[in-house]
Amino acid sequence: MKKAVAILMMAAMFAGCAASSFRTARENANQVKNGMTVQEAETILGMPATDKGVNKVKWHRGNAKRYDATPTGSVEYNLENGIIVGVPDGGIFGPVARQAYVQKLAAEEAARRAERQANAAERAAKAAASAKAEAVRQEREEAQAKEETVALLAAREQANIICRDKTSCAKMFSLAQIFVTQNANQKIQVATDTVIQTYNPTEKGNIAASIIKMPGSGSNEKITLTLSCKSEGEAVAKICRTEQTRIYKEFRPFIEKNLVR
């Protein structure tokens, strides 16, 4: 126990001596002038340098890790070919050095502020460009959707068929049932002499169909195809429009082609 206490006391004494030596070094730091060697500076400061580099030599202890041009910071000198340079009038802790250090900090902060502003401006420009591109994309998609809708309505109108007699109307209606079976995604749940209807769409993008044979004037009858599609979101809606347009366009040619056989 006594030995441990003695060791602690010796360590504290050495630490105190080191701190005292460093305080002395800082007190003498302003005596170091340009043109001196590192060895001459060590003699003036009364202790060897803590760090020796090619371009800088330093003395520091404890929390004094950074030079801030005040007597509480570290001691640092710039070197050129082993010779101390850049010491302002009055020494590294003098008013000129302090002013230069404050100006350096201000310049660094101004540079950081300018960089932040430049980065913010760049982010804003990118955001604006992205927003503009998104607006253009949405506008283009909306225009395309309108064109697709117009095409879909036109195809739907062209799919209506007028038959002139009961024999041809019956054959057309039978062919219409075959067409629905081949093109709709849903199974037929109703099939009479006047109505053919599939189940409603169960999955996104699925096509359901209904065909109605409506009596007209005299022996004329009108066969009307109506499609529906389960759509959620613009991507699926686009698929639905494209597929419905295709089916509508193919309905009349299918009937007419097979009617003459």
Q: Tell me how far apart the alpha carbons of residues 162 and 219 are, in angstroms, rounded to a whole number.
A: 10
Q: What is the mean pLDDT of the chain?
A: 90
Q: What's the pLDDT at 216?
A: 84
Q: Characterize 28-51 residue by residue with b for buried, 16 or more Cβ atoms within 10 angstroms of its Cβ, and e for exposed.
A: bbbebeeebebeebbeebebebbe
User: Phi/psi of residue 56, each to 5°?
Assistant: -155, 145
Q: What's the pLDDT at 12?
A: 42
Biggest alpha carbon distance in the chain?
A: 127
Q: What's the pLDDT at 180?
A: 96
Q: Tell me how far apart the alpha carbons of residues 128 and 115 are, in angstroms, rounded to a whole number.
A: 20
Q: What's the pLDDT at 3?
A: 56
What DSSP line would sit under 46-87, residue for residue? TS--SEE-SSEEEE--TT--S--SSTTS-EEEEEETTEEE-P
Q: What is the pLDDT of residues 218-237, one digit of tens each?
A: 889 999 999 999 988 889 99
Burial (CB < 10 A; 0-12, 13-18, 19+), residue 226, is middle
- What is the set of domains in the chain, with CATH numbers? 2-93 (no CATH), 159-259 (3.30.310.80)
Give Cα separations from 122 to 91, 119, 177 (angstroms): 43, 5, 61
User: Phi/psi of residue 231, each to 5°?
Assistant: -125, 135
Q: Tell me how far apart the alpha carbons of residues 222 and 219 are, in angstroms, rounded to a whole number.
A: 10
Give the residues of the chain that fall short of pLDDT 70: 1-19, 261
Q: What's the pLDDT at 21?
A: 87
Q: What is the pLDDT of residues 240-250, one digit of tens each?
A: 999 999 999 99
Q: What is the pLDDT of residues 129-156, one digit of tens each?
A: 999 999 999 999 999 999 999 999 999 9
**Structural contact between residues 32 and 44, judged by C-beta atoms closer than 8 angstroms:** yes
Q: What's the pLDDT at 29?
A: 96
Burial (CB < 10 A; 0-12, 13-18, 19+), residue 25, is buried
Q: Characterize 54-92 residue by residue with b for buried, 16 or more Cβ atoms within 10 angstroms of its Cβ, and e for exposed.
A: eeebbbbbeebeebebeeebbbbbebeeeebeebbeebb
Q: Of the candidates 108, 40, 95, 101, which has an alpha carbon nearest to the alpha carbon of residue 67?
A: 101
Burial (CB < 10 A; 0-12, 13-18, 19+), residue 130, is exposed
User: Phi/psi of residue 129, each to 5°?
Assistant: -65, -40
